Structure 1
């Protein structure tokens, strides 16, 4: 077996911290994996793993080799993939993560259409509201709503996503009037618990001036869909992307609060992916397909 093949086995063991799991990924036995790692250690005359009956962990030297070897192998794989893209139809695995509500309400249709259009692409789609670490969890791409912060990721804007305050007409009728942002202090404005910036609404007034107001809440939740349901029952007010309340606004079940004010900073839908890597044909086509769909679907909101 070549040194490169042993390096690939070593990287798989390091990723999964298991000879058995690495073997499953590579299609060989755990014993064969262990033997090749041992041969690599003998060649290098360095211990790469600490082994116990239950755990395999990298030594300090193993960690150094893993970082360099994984980068080198990923670079080689991308080079081969780039060459294949020049002469073949899109194929291979594409791992995508996106928020639950966005996926279920809007993007499940174009994702399914893309799968039908490119049957040789294996899509692995995960609906997750948490902030996924693309590199550590080995995703190729994430679709995220937010504003751009300093990041090591590359981002492509797919659509503008306005965000406003909403509640039910019954709540407006039964509670104190809301004429300015400061009036929100006397109301139950739901807290989205995945927001790490504190329970504060940042806004731009009709005259262009910006401000913020601390909010109070007796309802804390990590799901926009759950907050919408609570608002429909007259529990309080929630802050949401406009795209998630389109039907309820049209039916009159929800109404916008302080409709002359805008939430800042501006939020957009982005496709984000790790930098310094080859953008495969399948990923480029997927991003373009979602972008084209959003331009049409979100323009109607």
Structure 2
């Protein structure tokens, strides 16, 4: 009897399942890759995309950076409709370009135009790593060159914010030619007495770091930005030595005299405004 009783008795009881909690809406929260803290995206945006816990500088889109730094409604965009072709008939290149246009809302990896900082006019170019990793193709080189030429003609400074993986492989030597093209335009700006400020953001590498990004009258960088030409692994294999942990960071380059200052994003507008004001005073004194 006892055996029958225990064999028929349930060995567990069913507990009614609670209703599943509603999922957090996608995009509401974000984890910092540096400190792993989780916070609201709105909180991050209000802090200029700088982590409120560890000060890690998250990437900015081109238009976010323009909104943060320049006077409200002062930005006038140039060469909006300029888009890349496929001069080498590289397989699937056109499809990849279209995918990046849809994803980023941009026609190319750089936005150029004219804006003002505290009332002082300047030409500006802002690279955006969401489009082909900010790689430099023919259109990127053309837009930057046009912006430099416009700055020279209008006798205003030129500021560029770089973020790039280097030259665009799908355009081969045409991409590499943009290094010389932009550098020559900057030399003409310099010869005319124009001011060029380069601000390197994460990452600035390859042909971009080896050309226009590194030849500013002032070379600034954001904290922690990766700046270099070849990759760390390639360099270590070539020289057969272990590189320092902070190699190719903005702080490492500052320590070795390759940039002039590491500027926190919260201080960027004030820093640029001060430099522009100094040079505007010099021009007025002539």
TM-score bin (small chain): under 0.3
Where is the strand percentage greater, Structure 1 or Structure 2? Answer: 1
Query: TM-score scaled by structure 2?
Result: 0.24
